[in-house]
Structure 1
Amino acid sequence: MKVSWSSPSWQLRLLPGLSITGFIVLTRLLGLLQPLEWKTLDLSLKWRPAEAPDPRITLLAITEEDIQTALDYPISDQALSEFLETVQSYSPRVVGLDIFRDQPVGDGYTALAQTLQSSDNIVGIHKIDPRATVPPPPSLPDSQVGFADALVDQDGFLRRSLLGAADKAGNYQFSFTIQLVSSYLANDGLSVENGMRDPETMRFGSTEIPRFQSNTGGYIRADRGGNQTLINFRAGTQPFEKITYKALMAGQVEATLIQDRLVLIGYTAESVKDFVSSAAIAGVTPSLVPGMDAQAHAVSQILSAVIDGRPFLRGMPDGIEYLLILGSGLGGMILAQWERKPAVHFLVIIVISGVILLVSYGLLLTSWWLPVVPVVAAFLLNAAVLYPFYQAQAQLRSQLNDRQKLINQTYNTIHNGPLQTLAKMISTWPESQPAPDTLRPELHTLNRELRDIYDTMRQEILLPTGQLVLTGQQSIDLQMPLDELLREAYQITLERHREFFEPILKIVAFEPLDDQQLSIDQKRNLGRFLEEALINIQKYAHGTTRLTIDCRQKDGNNVIRVLDNGSGLKPSAPKTLGGYGTKQAETLARSLNGTFNRTHHKPKGVCCELRWPIYRPLWQRWLP
């Protein structure tokens, strides 16, 4: 790969890439990439290798079949009491009741109240959302109750767990998740405390739960109210053991699946509609994740972190994220300047993009959330979109280098041949030897003009393409209207040969010409045509006293006419012959679909005329 940063215009070469990368950063800061980053996170979490079922958690599900055959909905207090008593007979460490029970349901309220009051390992739920508050079970103390409010993103999907928040009365409440974890770890002498590295977060022992911030991962200015954390969902299609109500009540359960475990009780029946949406959980329909399962993932990640050292899902610091985006954009810019065939270039883009995705996936396996969407976007857009731009620049540089080599070779040939001969003639010509008065000055002029060829040609290739460099190294902007360009070329040429043209009577008319269809090269050649015509008068039209320049539109044509009253054409010269300038004028006329004529003007003089048709749109050509 050949990339040069030594050019003085390297800042300009960086500008397009920096603009694209800045656009990606701005798009991200505006939050427009959030949905893509969320979906990418969900899919990456879902595609992780399966983990073994959490040995500490068992789900007890009330299914659609249970409701239709053995229970009503909602489950009555009597049936719930019997269910809890059966569960307690297996000696679970903690029982999480993910069913609202703020008021009596059917028969058996007294029995349920006694069961709840006599069990210090049962944790119930309530809701603290001011828009839909649900009180806790009255028979449970505050230490055995946690709120079950779900925290969903703008797309309706669950990715965060709300661990603590203030209720509408301003009292701080712990979530159902934290109360379950606290009850489970109490036997190990651990309780929820303030963090040590981050005093505002929660910790159990030495394990701190990373607090969600407004810009964590792919989030932009998200609500970070309360105490939140990202959910590192347990991978695999069977993250937890699951038992149905029917199987438990029939005694078809191994005691080890409940004994000393955290048991979650909740509905999985579709008719109950106790579901959340999550695309990060394998093996389930994204919109039909039971709320009990979501609670189990939130609880499992904390227990696994405290007991097994399983990492929490974390975002990278903002500074590192944006450095990665800028770095990938720079990498794309460098690759875009790689002078290779398009097929090879785009194959490399695909490979590098795949490597970035694999690195992102590998980091996620270690629970680091890389902003892969803006990183890949910055790389792809710079590498793909800028490739034609940089290749065109490289081709232009190559052409300029080739032209420079040709100029050097041409000048060396002239310098080592005609120039040396001419210099020898000038230096060895004795001052005393007779010669025509004008010969010696003309030889010196010829020597100077030949040497100026190199500088003139070199200046033209170094200037922007929209410049015309006349003999003498004066440049003209080719973007100006054609009549102004011709006037400028006329004035520069006359000034350069003032001694000849100053005493001559000049009749000049530069009227607007139709140049809307002319290319830059054609306008350049028209400027050179006028310069050549004037120089020919200076060289060959001896005795000229009047010069007429007429540039105008006439009879549906653009006309450039240069007329002198000098010595005229030599009668002996064949009409078909012409010098290099004549051949160039004829070539120019053909490119314009026009004509060039160089004729004798009576009584004396020469008329050079170039004319080409005025452009008319196709629809106008059919009009009379």
Structure 2
Amino acid sequence: MSGKWLQVFKNKRADLKEIIACAIANAIVILAILLLKQAGGLQTLELIAFDIMVRLRNDLEPDPRLLIVGITEEDIVAFNRWPLSDEVIAQLLDRLSQLQPQAIGLDIYRDIPYEPGHQSLIQQLDNPKIITIKALGDAEVQGTLAPPTAPPSRVGFNDLLLDPDGVVRRNLMLATIEDEPFYSFSMRLALRYWQKQGIEPTNSPLHPDGIRWGAAEFLPLDRTSGGYQTIDDQGYQILLDYRSRKSVARVVSVSEVLYGNIPSSWVEDKIVLIGTIAPSGKDLFLTPYSPSRRISPKMPGVLIHAQMVSQLLDVVAGERSLFVFWPPWAEFVWAIAWGVVGIMVVVVVRHPLVWIFCPPLMLGVLWMGGFYLFLNSVWVPMVTPSLTLLFTSVIVIIYLGFRAQRQQQVVMGLLGQNASPEIAKALWNSRDRLMTNGKLPGEKLVATMLFTDIRNFSTISEQIPPEQLIEWLNEYLATLTQCVHSHRGIINKFMGDGIMAAFGVPIARTTEAEIAQDAYAAVACALEMGDRLIELNKLWQSQNLPVIEMRVGIFTGPLVAGSLGSRDRLEYGLLGDSVNIASRLESCEKDRQSEPCRILIAYQTLVYLPDVFEVESWGLIPLKGKQQLIDVYRILGWQSPPQP
């Protein structure tokens, strides 16, 4: 038993090395992709994937709690100056205040007077509902309130965070400079809105850095959240969840407010944001929607602030969820899992045509799963698992393709030249079942063997020059080969002037009907050989070449089929008593022949051929090397028309 297991181990060792090499290659690829992600090399692609998903989802309806008063190009022309004077801004604030808004956010710098009307503007800015802006990022105006008389509780910074590609995807809610906290413009507006309803943010009891505000649990964004790896995560940031690509809320112009007759319901109890939307104002930024907009790809800053305010209002009210992110270890598992999926699917499918469609199909499943999570406010990396899936599946496809090519060479080397195209194709389609470590394993099956030989070949060969003998013999053997292939058999060996053919190998037959079909094919093949021999003899006679007679022996029974030899030199072997009996039938009573092609079969073959062929019983005959007598029959011809 130990010797058997040793042989099994030796047979498995070569393929095991290839499998280990493939596994190591996949592990190295996955590790390289994960390290590339960790170093930030995939961040740009992950952000592009994020933008694509943002554009794919449906927009929400304009926020009814907001009104945007935009300074348009028409307003600049109408008032004939830029920036608009303090008087115009004061009149605008006075008009809006009369309509009882919840809060007014002034996204306009007024750190210096723009006469006329500066004193009027100062008076209007005393309104506790008005929130003004400052800049944290500009050294010249950092810490400068706008205007100087505005209290800190009514001032928010309007700095927008830009990702490395210049796109606004984050909202900086809070910042700390020299231990002094600062609130963002959107945060101030949302705070005032919810304070009127008694909803204040508090420290989260669940997370040390968390904020509990209404229905929302805020957690700060860090440098590894989602597809990020290299961003500056200082301050209290959240991922900006855009409401709409078109209009986050109703937009009116300054002229419409001052000289039009807008309904009071548009302003009453609303948050009003005032800012520049005119392209000449250059307060424009790239957003995830920018790649899909050929005209005016950038979004005005006041609209982005409105997106932020709308998100804060929604999440506190429980109408939208904040984006959540998996920890780094979970993202690694996510990427590795898809790499394993890529390997497993390719291994299971094992069909070259399907391999072409497998990677794209699996990518589609991956992206649908990731997009589903995205729609449920979970942002997971998409590019990283896509790369692991693609590279691992491609590596396995290359490995399996190489292995399949090697197996095909083995199979075709064993059988391809001596088998019909149909048999060769069937062998190749069944290679997974047939091939073990580059060999065809021994398998017990029932088949029909056919042996042929030329009568008195030695005498004939002495009459023909060697070079002419080879051509003459090749013509004869080629004819026999065509007969075998046309009846779906294989030629196992050329034995000088004869052949050894088999019907029913190497794919084992599972039913009696299949075995009978093989027996029928073998006898039909032998009869066709006889007909073709008559034609060849006529041709050879006209060419002054010898005419010949041949013998055929056919037997149906169990045998063992498999490859013999080493990995460097293999041949397909058929072993068993059935092979020997067929060979003995061919040589049985050599002088007892009255036709060009004598065909002898045993009873074991005849039982599969009821009422098909006309036979002559030769009775029980002792065959050379056999102790038991064999019931022998000679095939005379067709008893019924041959099957098509």
TM-score range for the pair, normalised by the shorter chain length: 0.5 to 0.7
In structure 2, what is the Cα distance between the partners aligned to 1:408 and 1:335?
29
Cα pair distance change 1:203/1:125, threshold 3 Å: farther
How is 1:437-476 mapped onto 2 (pairs within 5 angstroms)? 457-458=565-566
Counterparts of 1:406 and 1:113 in 2: how far apart (Å)? 95
Instruction: Give the AA of the match of 1:457.
Output: G
Give the 3-state SS of the residue equivalent to 1:102 in structure 2: coil
CA distance in 2, matches of 1:200, 1:71: 49
Aligned equivalents of 1:408 and 1:191: distance in 2?
79
Q: Give, as a single letter, the amino acid of the residue that structure 2 aligns with 1:95.
A: I
Q: Cα offset for 1:360?
A: 1.4
Residue of structure 2 in register with 1:226 after alignment: 235
**CA distance in 1: counterparts of 2:140 and 2:206, whole angstroms:** 35
Please say if 1:204 is aligned against 2:213: yes
1:367 and 1:5, CA in 2 relative to 1: closer, same or farther beyond 3 A? farther
Partner of 2:307: 297
Instruction: Give the deviation of 1:286 after TM superposition.
Output: 7.0
Q: Is the 8 A contact 1:268 1:274 kept in 2?
A: yes
Q: CA 1:339 to 1:126, structure 2 compared with 1: closer, same or farther past 3 Å? A: closer
Provide the rounded CA distance (Å) in 2 between the counterparts of 1:378 and 1:461. Answer: 39
Q: Say whether the 8 Å CA contact 2:15–2:437 is kept in structure 1.
A: no
Alignment of 1:383-402 (within 5 A): 383-396=393-406, 399=410, 401=436
Counterpart amino acid of residue 565 in structure 2: M
Confirm whether residue 266 of structure 1 aligns to residue 314 of structure 2: no
Match of 2:110 in 1: 101
Question: Separation in 2 of the partners of 1:379 and 1:316?
Answer: 19
1:233-262: CA deviations, max 9, x gaps? 113523211111111112332222211011
- SS of the residue 1:243 aligns to: strand
Shift of 1:390: 2.1
DSSP-derived class of the 1:44 partner: helix
Q: In the alignment, which of 168, 184, 189 is matched to residue 180 of structure 1?
A: 189
Give the Cα–Cα distance (whole angstroms) in 1 for the partners of residues 564 and 136 of structure 2. 83
The 1:351–1:273 alpha-carbon spacing in structure 2 relative to 1, beyond 3 Å, is: same
Q: How far apart are the structure 1 equivalents of 2:13 and 2:322?
A: 43
Residue identity in the other structure for 1:126: K
Q: Distance in 1 between matches of 2:319 and 2:358?
A: 39
User: Against the structure 1 CA distance between its residues 406 and 326, is the aligned structure 2 distance closer, same or farther, given a 3 Å change threshold?
Assistant: closer
Change (3 A) 1:270 1:402: closer
For 1:147, the aligned partner's letter is F
The 3 A distance-change label for structure 1 pair 62 and 406 is: closer
| 8 Å Cα contact 2:72/2:276 also seen in 1 | yes
**1:48–1:236 contact (8 Å) kept in structure 2:** no
Q: Is the 8 A contact 1:233 1:280 kept in 2?
A: no
Q: 1:185–1:266: structure 2 CA closer, same or farther, 3 Å change rule?
A: same
How far did 1:264 drift? Answer: 0.4
- The verdict on how the C-alpha distance between 1:160 and 1:460 changes in structure 2, with shifts beyond 3 A counting, is same
Distance 1:107 1:127 in 2: 25
| Matched residue count | 414
Distance 1:354 1:5, change over 3 A: farther
Deviation at 1:315, TM superposition (A): 2.1
Amino acid at match of 1:124: T
Q: Distance in 1 between the 2:117 and 2:569 partners?
A: 98
CA contact (8 A) 1:346 1:384 kept: no
Offset at residue 16 of structure 1 (A): 1.7
The SS at the match of 1:158 is coil
Residues 15/370 of structure 1: CA separation in 2 closer, same or farther (3 Å cut): same
Q: Give SS of 1:188's match.
A: coil
Residue equivalent to 1:247? 256
Superposed displacement of residue 285, structure 1: 5.4
DSSP-derived class of the 2:312 partner = helix
Q: Which residue of 2 aligns with 1:69?
A: 78
Measured after TM superposition, the shift of residue 195 of structure 1 is 2.7
The residue that corresponds to 1:81 in the other structure is 90
Q: Is the 8 A contact 2:173 2:187 kept in 1?
A: yes
Whether the 8 Å CA contact 1:97–1:265 is kept in 2: the answer is yes
- Of all paired residues, the percent bearing the same amino acid is 26
In the TM superposition, what is the alpha-carbon distance from 1:459 to its structure 2 partner? 7.0
Deviates more, 1:201-210 or 1:245-254: 201-210
Q: Is 1:314 aligned to residue 324 of structure 2?
A: yes
- Partner residue of 1:490? none
CA distance in 2 between counterparts of 1:459 and 1:392 reads: 16
Matches within 5 A, 1:337-348: 337-338=347-348, 340-348=350-358
Tell me the residue number matched to 2:460: none
| Contact 2:14/2:437, CA 8 A, preserved across alignment | no
1:152 aligns with 2:162: yes
- Tell me by how many angstroms 1:120 deviates: 0.8
- Shift of the 69–403 alpha-carbon distance from structure 1 to 2, 3 Å rule, reads closer
2: CA distance, partners of 1:86 / 1:343: 71
The question of 1:126 aligning with 2:234 is answered no
Deviation of 1:221 after TM superposition, in Å, equals 3.5
Q: Please list the CA deviations of residues 169-195 of structure 1 after superposition, one character each: whole Å capped at 9, or x if unmatched.
A: 542211111111111111110223333
* 1:280 CA displacement: 3.6
Distance 1:211 1:5 in 2: 53
Answer yes or no: is the 8 Å Cα contact 1:321–1:370 preserved in 2.
yes
Looking at structure 1, the residues matched to 400 and 39 of structure 2 have their Cα atoms a distance apart, in angstroms, of 29
Give me the whole-angstrom Cα distance separating, in 1, the residues matched to 2:331 and 2:137.
34
SS in 1 for 2:70: strand
Question: Amino acid of the residue matched to residue 262 of structure 2?
Answer: V
Quick one: distance in 2 between partners of 1:33 and 1:197?
32
Tell me how far apart the structure 1 counterparts of residues 13 and 250 of structure 2 sit (CA, whole Å).
61
Which residue does the alignment assign to 1:598? none
SS in 1 for 2:131: strand
In 1, the alpha carbon distance for the partners of 2:358 and 2:181 equals: 55
Most deviating of 358-367 and 9-18: 9-18
Post-superposition offset of 1:48? 0.8
Greater Cα offset, 392-401 or 381-390: 392-401
Do the aligned partners of 1:201 and 1:227 also contact (CA within 8 Å) in 2?
A: no
Task: Give the residue type in structure 1 aligned to 2:354.
Answer: V
Tell me by how many angstroms 1:132 deviates. Answer: 4.3
Structure 2 equivalent of residue 350 of structure 1:
360
In the TM superposition, what is the alpha-carbon distance from 1:374 to its structure 2 partner? 1.0
Determine the C-alpha separation between the residues in 1 that align with 2:252 and 2:13. 67
Q: What are the equivalent positions in structure 2 for 1:531-546 lying under 5 Å apart?
A: none
Letter in 1 for 2:347: Q
Whole-Å Cα distance in 2 between the matches of residues 274 and 103 of structure 1? 19
How large is the RMSD of aligned CA atoms in angstroms?
A: 2.9
Counterpart for residue 139 of structure 1: 149
* Distance in structure 2 (CA, Å) of the matches to 1:40 and 1:165: 28
Q: Secondary structure at the match of 1:152?
A: coil
Question: 1:192 aligned to 2:196?
Answer: no
Output the TM-score relative to the length of structure 2.
Answer: 0.60
Per mean C-alpha deviation after superposition, the further-off stretch among 384-393 and 224-233 is 384-393
Contact kept in structure 1, 2:102 and 2:129, CA below 8 Å:
yes
- Residue-by-residue CA offset, 1:331-350 (whole Å, 9 max, x unaligned): 11223334544332122322
Aligned match of 2:5: none
Instruction: State the distance in 2 between where 1:198 and 1:299 align.
Output: 24
- In the other structure, the counterpart of 1:32 is 41
Cα offset, 1:228, TM superposition: 0.8
Compared CA separation, residues 401 and 278, structure 1 to 2 (3 A): same
CA 1:45–1:407: 2 relative to 1, 3 Å: closer
Residue of 33, 48, 56 corresponding to 1:47: 56
